[in-house]
Structure 1
Amino acid sequence: MTEIVEEDLDSYPFPLGPLGEPPERFSELRAQCPVVRVRMPSGDTAWAVTGYDEVVAALSDSRLSRAALREPGAPRVIKGPDFGDNPFNLLSQDGADHRRLRRLISPAFTPKRAEQKRPRIQEIADELVDALEAGPRPADLHHDFAALLPIWVITDLLGASRERRADIQRWTDHLVSITAHTADERLRARDESAAYVVSLLAERRGAPGEDLLSDLITARDDGDRLSEQELVWLTVNLLVAGHDTTVSALSRATYQILRHQDQWASLVARVDDREVVRHAVDELLRYAPPSEIGFLRIATDDLEVGGVAVRKGEGVIPIMHAAGRDTRHVHDPDRLDLFREDVKHVAFGHGSHFCPGAGLARLELEIGLATLARRLPELQLAVPPDDVEWSSGLLTLRPKTLPARW
């Protein structure tokens, strides 16, 4: 193999583009070399994949393993202990155990079950807009709307305490950190979130309810289909992943559509057409996905990705959020068009790790954006778009604040 010279490698993650746009390097790499060697914050190297076809192929290949991240000497994104080291973490499992755990939670996230939650999600969205209207102007659409709706939904779904929502948000912020928080802070968040879940499980065992957590406890205690440790960490996964990416997707989509006021006006004009809103959400997921980061996988055998030889033990990062602007599939992909026909993305992943909560997340995005459009049709950014600052060093991307007026 040709020796890799350190100075020749891109640093991963790539710098964010202006106006909350994807890294400009994505477009260059897709055109020149959609599979390229990069250096991660840990100092280890991996292959970053940015083209749509190459990303889908990598996500579909069982020889690229999440579980192998725990193997001694495997490349790492960051130095020190990480949430992904936990063998009970759903995101770091493959094969039979991964399928078994997904089967336990999948019934709660089918499109039909998600649709049954529409009235409650609508209640939450309306309550949050009521508070916006009663509050100060300009309002902060990130902290007071986009960051709240998804966590209210997931705590309702799991029967978690409303009083602990702020703690759950804080733990999540640390657990999805790449460089924003220290290893000690990440471990403390891991331990505190697990301790909370243990207390929540004890509470729910004493007083079962009609929630997903009670169903999982039944699977544990009656069917013995998962261990106690699996139950704890599956619940932590649901609390964290069950809201964080949706927060970023909703906040980022709101920013981008308000930055394109012609598109906002189009949504307002057709907001009562659910099919139009659904299509708009797909375009926003393509144009402004919740993250610019991919999940590292380890090659368990020699293989090829996009014609590039990947050796056993090397890391591969399919950046699924880079795929949505591939000119091979989307015409003029840098243009936001809520009514384009060629919407193509893998914002929810692909293959065995496809997001099990995709249906619920889509519904939250649809209701959240439609509620803003219906009730606040004159909504606009209260600052120039390039004055909005973005949080960095996290797996997901969101503005620090999103000032808006109407």
Structure 2
Amino acid sequence: MSAADNSTKTADQTLLPLHRVSFGESGPPQPTTLPDGSPAWLVTRHRDVQQVLSDARFGRAQLYGPDAPPVSDVPNLVNNPDLVFNQDGPDHLRLRRTFRRAFTPRAVARWRPWIAAMVERCLDELARCEPPVDVVAAFTLPLPIAVISELMGLDAQAQGRLRHWTAYAFSDGSHDPDEVTAALEEFAAFAAELIAERRRDPGDDLVSSLLRSADTEGGIPEAQLVSLVCGLAVGGHDSTMTMLGNCLLYLLGERPETWPVLGSDEKAAELAAERLLHLIPLGDDRGSTRHASEDVEVGGVIIPAGSVVVADCGTANRDPAVFPGRPFDELFSPLAGANLAFGAGPHYCMGAWLARLELQLALHRLAARFPELRLAEPAQGVEWRLGATSRSPLRLAVTW
């Protein structure tokens, strides 16, 4: 559920599975160039990336200041200045407190029984299919949409529109700008009406909880609430769907010997899910961009005030100083250091607990119910879902 920015797209590797994309070596901060030709600093070592993401002197809001160059040529939700991810200081803290009150790890733990029941219902539907089956259409997409829809109290019509809105909300710039603008306006209108409905008739859903928290916090502009609801709706399912599809491609295509372990041992599935989150990026944009408000020393290098800084979480998650050995060798062992898949510091992904829970339960129960699950087509021929900042199989045929 984290918001990845699309200003740091790597060289085209879109035919490769994401667990096979190449990463550079981690090292001291060094000058780099963004896709638009503007200068930036690249930070790759684990401790340096943690510093940049945790230090308030490296912010997001100034990337959208009046004198800043445009972050993207095409509008999208990720680069909306009202999004909580793009706020800093008091504005950001108010929004995060609003979200945190309604979305705590304790609250997510209370959701576990009905999320587990939802996983089982999706698996029941899958079991009624005649193999081979597209596991994306039958499981990895409907499960996270059902979970976020239940949390937010969305009706069937809204559920049907979520994938359409997500394609434009997380556009990588390949869509027509007018189409993106029209889709985002429609999405914002939906969110504004949903907020109005929950104010008139509040319930136990997450949107009502957010509004109660916002009233307690006070001073939150309506545009920021609309962006918060939009981000929750699309981010709340896209990341989980993406991770599930990419994990299944890796596990069934390259590590089939691990599949029975995932189904028989829930703790092993939890450890594997964390490892896979750590090693498989959501998409080809591995950098999270920040703006230096003053001169800051990072890893022995002075990054000047006003610099754009790219914190490369993908490379940092492979830093041999923190994670020795071959990355995928110890799939069922705890990580040796902090997982930066969800970021770090004040902009740490607020939906990380839910994403982890869904991935753990989905992998464990899918392997338990379908111990002989396997790919029905060669992994090399997978067709990719493109056009967004995340990437995963568009279809993935499986059999059992």
The TM-score with structure 1 as length reference comes to 0.88
Q: Higher relative contact order at CA 8 Å, sep ≥6: structure 1 or structure 2?
A: 2
In the alignment, the residues of structure 2 paired with residue 246 and residue 46 of structure 1 have an alpha-carbon distance, to the nearest angstrom, of: 31
In the alignment, the residues of structure 1 paired with residue 284 and residue 300 of structure 2 have an alpha-carbon distance, to the nearest angstrom, of: 23
In structure 2, relative to structure 1, the CA distance for the partners of 1:343 and 1:290 (3 Å cut) is farther
Query: Post-superposition shift, 1:355?
Result: 0.9
Q: Does 1:29 align with 2:2?
A: no
1:212-268 deviation per Cα after TM superposition (whole angstroms, max 9, x unaligned): 211233345576452322222211121122222222122211221112111223223
Alignment match, 1:19: 17
Q: Among residues 227, 230, 233, which one is paired with 1:236 in the alignment?
A: 230
Q: Does 1:105 align with 2:102?
A: no
Q: Does 1:78 align with 2:72?
A: yes
In the alignment, the residues of structure 2 paired with residue 336 and residue 188 of structure 1 have an alpha-carbon distance, to the nearest angstrom, of: 46
Query: What secondary structure is seen at the aligned counterpart in 1 of 2:350?
Result: coil
In the alignment, the residues of structure 2 paired with residue 222 and residue 350 of structure 1 have an alpha-carbon distance, to the nearest angstrom, of: 26
Q: Does 1:261 align with 2:256?
A: yes
Alignment match, 1:151: 145
Q: Among residues 316, 319, 330, which one is paired with 2:309 in the alignment?
A: 316
Alignment match, 1:217: 211
Alignment of 1:318-333 (within 5 A): 318-333=311-326
Alignment match, 1:121: 115
Query: Post-superposition shift, 1:35?
Result: 4.1
In the alignment, the residues of structure 1 paired with residue 56 and residue 304 of structure 2 have an alpha-carbon distance, to the nearest angstrom, of: 15
Q: CA RMSD in A?
A: 2.3
Query: Post-superposition shift, 1:85?
Result: 4.8
* Counterpart contact for 1:330–1:343, Cα < 8 Å: yes
Q: Among residues 338, 342, 353, which one is paired with 1:348 in the alignment?
A: 342
Alignment match, 1:372: 366
1:8-50 deviation per Cα after TM superposition (whole angstroms, max 9, x unaligned): xxx83233383332531x2x332x666450332x343433333
Q: Could you tell me which amino acid in structure 2 is paired with residue 330 of structure 1?
A: F
In the alignment, the residues of structure 1 paired with residue 102 and residue 326 of structure 2 have an alpha-carbon distance, to the nearest angstrom, of: 34
Query: Post-superposition shift, 1:206?
Result: 2.9
In the alignment, the residues of structure 1 paired with residue 81 and residue 94 of structure 2 have an alpha-carbon distance, to the nearest angstrom, of: 15
1:56-103 deviation per Cα after TM superposition (whole angstroms, max 9, x unaligned): 121112121110111134244422444355332111101111111111
Q: Could you tell me which amino acid in structure 2 is paired with residue 312 of structure 1?
A: A
* Counterpart contact for 1:29–1:35, Cα < 8 Å: no
Alignment match, 1:6: none
Alignment match, 1:8: none
Query: What secondary structure is seen at the aligned counterpart in 1 of 2:392?
Result: coil
Identity %: 35
Q: Does 1:290 align with 2:287?
A: no
In the alignment, the residues of structure 2 paired with residue 124 and residue 118 of structure 1 have an alpha-carbon distance, to the nearest angstrom, of: 10
Q: Could you tell me which amino acid in structure 2 is paired with residue 44 of structure 1?
A: S
1:182-236 deviation per Cα after TM superposition (whole angstroms, max 9, x unaligned): 3223222221111011221222233221112112333455764523222222111
Q: Could you tell me which amino acid in structure 2 is paired with residue 335 of structure 1?
A: F
Q: Does 1:39 align with 2:34?
A: yes
Q: Could you tell me which amino acid in structure 2 is paired with residue 400 of structure 1?
A: L
Query: Post-superposition shift, 1:336?
Result: 4.3
Q: Among residues 321, 330, 337, which one is paired with 1:337 in the alignment?
A: 330
In structure 2, relative to structure 1, the CA distance for the partners of 1:240 and 1:257 (3 Å cut) is same
Query: Post-superposition shift, 1:120?
Result: 1.4
Query: What secondary structure is seen at the aligned counterpart in 2 of 1:106?
Result: helix
Q: Does 1:51 align with 2:81?
A: no
In structure 2, relative to structure 1, the CA distance for the partners of 1:221 and 1:300 (3 Å cut) is closer
Alignment of 1:360-399 (within 5 A): 360-399=354-393
* Counterpart contact for 1:47–1:316, Cα < 8 Å: yes
Q: Could you tell me which amino acid in structure 2 is paired with residue 55 of structure 1?
A: V
Q: Could you tell me which amino acid in structure 1 is paired with residue 103 of structure 2?
A: F
In the alignment, the residues of structure 1 paired with residue 56 and residue 148 of structure 2 have an alpha-carbon distance, to the nearest angstrom, of: 30
Query: Post-superposition shift, 1:362?
Result: 0.9
Query: What secondary structure is seen at the aligned counterpart in 1 of 2:326?
Result: coil
Alignment of 1:167-186 (within 5 A): 167-186=161-180
* Counterpart contact for 2:32–2:41, Cα < 8 Å: yes
User: Quick check: 61-70 or 171-180, which moved more?
Assistant: 171-180
